[in-house]
Amino acid sequence: MGDIIEMNGIVKIFPPNLVALDDVSVTFREGEIHAIVGENGAGKTTLMKILYGMQPADSGEIILRGEKVKFSDPGEAIASGIGMVHQEILLIPEYSVWENVVLGNEPVKFLDHLDSKKAREQVKAKIKEFHFNLDPDTKVADISVAARQKVEILKLLFRNVSVLIMDEPTSVLTPQEIPQLFSELKRLRDNGHTIMFISHHLDEVLDLSDRITVLRKGKKIGTIEAREATKTGLAQMMVGRKVIFESIRKAQKPGDILFEISNLNYTDADKKPRLQNIHLQVRAGEIVGIAGVEGNGQLELVNVIMGLIEPQSGTISAMGQDVIPQSILEKRKKIAFVSQDRGNMSACLPARITENVIMTHHRLNPRFTSLGGKVLNFKQANQFTLEVQEIFDVQMTSGETLFRSLSGGNQQKVILGRELLLDAPFILLDQPTRGLDVGSIEYVHKQITTMRSKQRGILLISADLEELFRLTDRLIVMHRGRIVADLVTDKTNITEVGYLMLEGMTYEA
Amino acid sequence: MKRKILINLVGILLAFILGALVMAIQGKDPIEAYYRLFEYSLGTPNKIAYTLNKSVPLVLTGLSATVAFASGPVNLGQPGQLLMGALFATVGGLYINLPPGLLIPLLLILSMLGGALWSGVAALLKHLFNMNEFITTLMLNMIADYLTLWAISYPFFEKNANHPQTPLINQNGWMPEWGSFSSNVIVMLLAFGIIWFIVNRTTSGYEWRISGQNSLFSRLGGVNVKKNYLAVMLLTGALAGLAGGLIIMAGPHRFIKDIGANYAWDGVMIAMVANTGVILTLVFGLFFAILQTGALGMELQVQVPRELIKVLQAVIVLIVVAGRGYFESLFALLEARRKMRGRTS
C-alpha cells in the first residue's frame, strides 16, 4: 500500500482569534480506513474540508499521488477522485434514488436530453457492484436516513471517486444501522477505496479503522495503528491527560424538597405533545440528572421552567410557590439558570463583561442601584466583576472588554459566577459543559458539587452520560417527552441508562 | 474606541476625496469648493449660530433613531412623529395664552406628547396585533403627512393665505433669540444630556441596550421586555416630536406645508452612521448640519450644485457603515495572525 494523499503543514485561522489547524501534517495510504478523531472543535472537519476544497488553507500543501494539488471547490476535488459525505444529508426528497445519484452528472442523448433509461441502468449497476441493497426507483423522501446516506455515498461512487471522506456518518444513524454501514465501508476499502472517517466515538473508531490520527485543539497529536490502540490510550491522546470516569460526590443526606414538577404537559403549536405527564422532585443538597438523547423534551422542559413557553397543564413549584404564573424576574429569585446556548440565552456577546455579570443582579440586589433602583451604580458593578473574576478564576483583562473576547471556558465561568452568586436555592443547569475543554469541564463540575454541599437543589440536564454518572445522586431518563425512569445513580449503570435513552424501556420490558 | 474614531474619519475622508474627484471632472476647483463649504457654515460666529440652529432637528431625530435602534425597536416613524409634534405645538400656540416662561415649556411638552402619541399608536398595534413597528411606523408617516396637511388646510388654515399654512402662534411661545443664536440649541443640548444619562447610567437604559443586542438573554435575566419596548417607543417618539415643535417655535412660528422637509430621514441616516452611539449621533448631527449649511455657500461661490452635498452625505454613510464590517474583520484577522505567530515562535 503506497501513500495516496499527503497533507503537509496545514494552517487554518478563523478570525478573530481561532486557530483551527496549527501546522497539521497527515499522510493517507491507498486502500485504508483512516479515522480522524478528536473532541468537538479539534479541527477534524476543517482539515477534511480543506482537503475537499471547501475551505482554503492559510498555508500548507496537499500532495495527491505525488503531485501537488490545490482544489478551489469541491467539484475539482471530485474530478480528482476525492468525495465527501457531510453530516447533514443533502438530497432532493421528491426525486427518486437514481435521479438523485445522476443529478449533475447525467448521461445524455441527442441534444442534451436526459437518457433516463441509461442513467437508471448505470445506477442499478453501481448498486449491484457495491451490494448496496437500494431500490433505484424509490423516492428519497420515502427511505430511511441510513439509506439516504447510502445514496450520498453512491452519488460519489457514481463519479468514480476513489477517496471517500465521511464526516461523523454514525451521528445520524440508530445503533442498529451502524454495523451495516461499517460492513459496507469495509467492502469499499477491500475494493481499493481509501476512506477517511471523522468521529469522536472511540469504540466505532477501533472497530472500523486501520489507522487513527488524533487531533487536539488544532494540533496533530499522532497517527497510530488501530490494532495497537486502546480506548483509554486514545482518550488520553484526545484530551491530553488521564480521564477520570468515577464519581466525585461525597455521601450526603438530601434535605427538603426545593423544587417540584407535577403532572406537567406541553403540546407545541403543531399539536405535537412534547412533554407528557412530567413528575419530578429536587431536594436540597441533591443533584438530579436528566439523561436523554437530545430532542426528547429537555429543551421544552427548560423553557417551561424558565417561563419562555406556557404548559397546557401541571404545576411547577419552587420553595413551595407555584412559579408558572410568576414573571421571569420573580422566578429568578428562586431559580439560577445556566443554559446550553451561551451566546443566545446566557450572555450578551457584544456587550461588556461587566454588563453581562450584573444581569438579574441589577434588579434583585439593591447594592447595584441607587435612587430606588433607577440609576445603576457602576462602582459596585465593577467591584462585582472583580469578585466574580477572583472567586471563579476567570482569565480576563478588564470588565470593560467585550464578553465575546473571552474564551469559551472563561465565558462559562463568568456565567456560572453570575448565576451561582444569585444565591438562589434551586439551580437549573442545561448542558453546562457543552463545548468546553477538559480543564474547564472539571472546574464546572467542582463548582456544581460545591453548590451541592451548600444544600442547593440542582437539576442537571446533560447529553453526556459520563458527566451525569460523575455528578448526580439520582438520574431521570427522558424519552419522547416522557420520564421513563427515575433511578438512583449508584444503583444503575451506563449500559442500562443508555438503553433507556434509546429505547425508552429496560431490557426486560 | 480609537478604532471607531479612525473608521469614521477614514469614511469622511474617502467621501471628500470622491466628492473632489466629481468636482474636478466637472472642471471645478475642489479645494476652493470645500473652503467655501466650511467658510459659509463656520466662518463667523453668526454663521456658526445658524449652523447650530440647523442642527437641532437633525440631532433630535438622530437621537430618536439611535435610541430606538440601540434598544431593539425599529422605529422609522421619525418623519411622522416630527410632524405630529409640530402640529401639537402649533395648535397649543394658537389657542393658549400664557407668559413665555410657562407657554414655552408647555408647547415643548405638547410637541413631545404629539410625537409620543404617534409612536404609541405603533406600539399599541404591536401589543394588540403583533404588527411589526418597522412597517407600522412607516405607514403612520404617510398618515401623519396627510393628516397635518388636512389640519393646516382646513381647521387651522390661515384665512386668505394662498398656501396651506396656519396663522402665527402666540408670540409668547417663540423660542427666544439672541442675535442669530436661537435658544432651541439649548433645548437640544439639554435633551442630548438627558438621553446620554438615560442610556448610559440608568437601569432602564442598561436594560434597553442589552435587550437591543440580545432580547432573549435579557428576558431570561428578568427584564420586562414588553414594558421597555413601550418606554423606548414613547421616548423616541417624544424626541422626534420635540424636533417638530422646535422647528415651529424657533423657525417660521407657524405650520407651513412641507415644514418637516427631510430632517427626519437625515436623522435616521445619522443614527445609522453613528451606529447606536449617543455621542457620535451628536457629532454627526453637527457635521451634517455644517455640510447642509455650507452647501449653499459652495453653490453661490463656486457654482457647485448644492445636491453634491447630498451625494457626499450618502457616500459617507455608505463608506462608514460598509467599512465598519470590513475594518472589523480586517482587525480581527490581523489579531489572529499576530496570536498565531506568537504561538509558533
Give residue-wise pLDDT tens across range B255-282: 999 888 789 999 999 999 998 899 999 9
Of A190, A206, A239, which closes a domain? A239
d(CA A138, CA B72): 49
DSSP states of B48-84: HHHHHHHHHHHHHHHHHHHHHHHHS-----HHHHHHH
Task: Indicate whether B20 belongs to any domain.
Answer: no
Q: Which CATH number do you get for residue A287?
A: 3.40.50.300
d(CA A62, CA A49): 12
The residues facing B282 across adjacent strands are: none
Q: What percent of chain B has pLDDT over 90?
A: 73
**Hey, are the CB atoms on A17 and B339 less than 8 Å from each other?**
yes
**Hey, are the CB atoms on A373 and B224 less than 8 Å from each other?**
no
Task: Indicate whether B295 belongs to any domain.
Answer: yes
Rounded mean pLDDT, B80-85: 97
SS3 A8: strand
Q: What is the pLDDT of residue B343?
A: 54
**B-chain residues near A363 (CB < 8 A):** 203, 222-223
Task: Indicate whether A340 belongs to any domain.
Answer: no
Domain of A431, in residue numbers: 248-334+425-509
- The three grid cell numbers given for residue B314, joined into one nine-digit string: 450618502
d(CA A275, CA A403): 34
Task: Indicate whether A359 belongs to any domain.
Answer: yes
Of A239, A266, A283, which closes a domain? A239
Task: Indicate whether A27 belongs to any domain.
Answer: yes
A125 with A263, same domain: the answer is no
Per-window interface: B 145-164 vs A, CB < 8 A: none
ipTM summary value:
0.87
**What's the pTM value of the predicted model, to 2 decimals?**
0.76
Residue ranges of alpha helices (H) inside A105-245 are 116-129, 145-158, 178-190, 202-208, 231-239
Q: What is the pLDDT of residue A16?
A: 57
Interface membership of B338 toward A (CB under 8 Å):
no
Question: CB of A205 within 8 A of CB of A212?
Answer: yes
R_g of chain B, CA atoms, integer Å: 22
CA distance A453 to chain B (A): 26
Task: Indicate whether A391 belongs to any domain.
Answer: yes
Q: What percent of chain A has pLDDT over 90?
A: 46
List Cα–Cα distances, A370 to A376, B194, B196, B203, in angstroms: 6, 17, 18, 9
Question: CB of A345 within 8 A of CB of A328?
Answer: no
A289 with A208, same domain: the answer is no
- The three grid cell numbers given for residue A505, joined into one nine-digit string: 424501556
What phi and psi, each to the nearest 5 degrees, are found at residue A109?
-115, -160
Nearest alpha carbon to residue B220 among A416, A423, A307, A462 = A307
Q: Is pLDDT above 50 for A455?
A: yes
Q: What is the pLDDT of residue A334?
A: 95
Q: Which CATH number do you get for residue B47?
A: 1.10.3470
Residue among B3, B202, B207, B217 with most chain A CBs within 10 A, to mutate: B217
**pLDDT one-digit tens code per residue, A44-77:** 888 999 999 988 888 899 999 989 998 988 889 9
A219 with A90, same domain: the answer is yes
Task: Indicate whether B82 belongs to any domain.
Answer: yes
A71 with A144, same domain: the answer is yes
A156 with A261, same domain: the answer is no
Q: Is pLDDT above 70 for B97?
A: yes
**Hey, are the CB atoms on B224 and A329 less than 8 Å from each other?**
yes
Task: Indicate whether B327 belongs to any domain.
Answer: no
Nearest alpha carbon to residue A220 among A437, A6, A24 = A24
**pLDDT one-digit tens code per residue, A177-216:** 788 889 889 999 998 999 999 887 777 888 899 999 999 8
**Hey, are the CB atoms on B220 and A337 less than 8 Å from each other?**
yes
A115 with A154, same domain: the answer is yes
Task: Indicate whether B341 belongs to any domain.
Answer: no
R_g of chain A, CA atoms, integer Å: 26
Task: Indicate whether B154 belongs to any domain.
Answer: yes
- The three grid cell numbers given for residue A25, joined into one nine-digit string: 501534517
**Hey, are the CB atoms on A362 and B206 less than 8 Å from each other?**
yes
Domain of B283, in residue numbers: 30-303
**Hey, are the CB atoms on A15 and B332 less than 8 Å from each other?**
yes
Per-window interface: A 18-47 vs B, CB < 8 A: 18-19, 22-23
**Total length of chain B:** 345
A452 with A495, same domain: the answer is yes
Q: Domains in chain B: how many in total?
A: 1
A67 with A10, same domain: the answer is yes
Interface membership of A52 toward B (CB under 8 Å):
no
**Hey, are the CB atoms on A339 and B204 less than 8 Å from each other?**
no
Q: Domains in chain A: how many in total?
A: 3
Task: Indicate whether B122 belongs to any domain.
Answer: yes
Only one residue has cell 412607516, namely B138
Task: Indicate whether A339 belongs to any domain.
Answer: no
**Hey, are the CB atoms on A374 and B218 less than 8 Å from each other?**
no
Task: Indicate whether B144 belongs to any domain.
Answer: yes
Using CA atoms of B85, B86, B87, B91 in order, give the dihedral in degrees to the nearest 10: 110
Of A401, A423, A445, which closes a domain? A423
Interface membership of A373 toward B (CB under 8 Å):
yes
Tell me what the pLDDT averaged over chain A comes to.
87
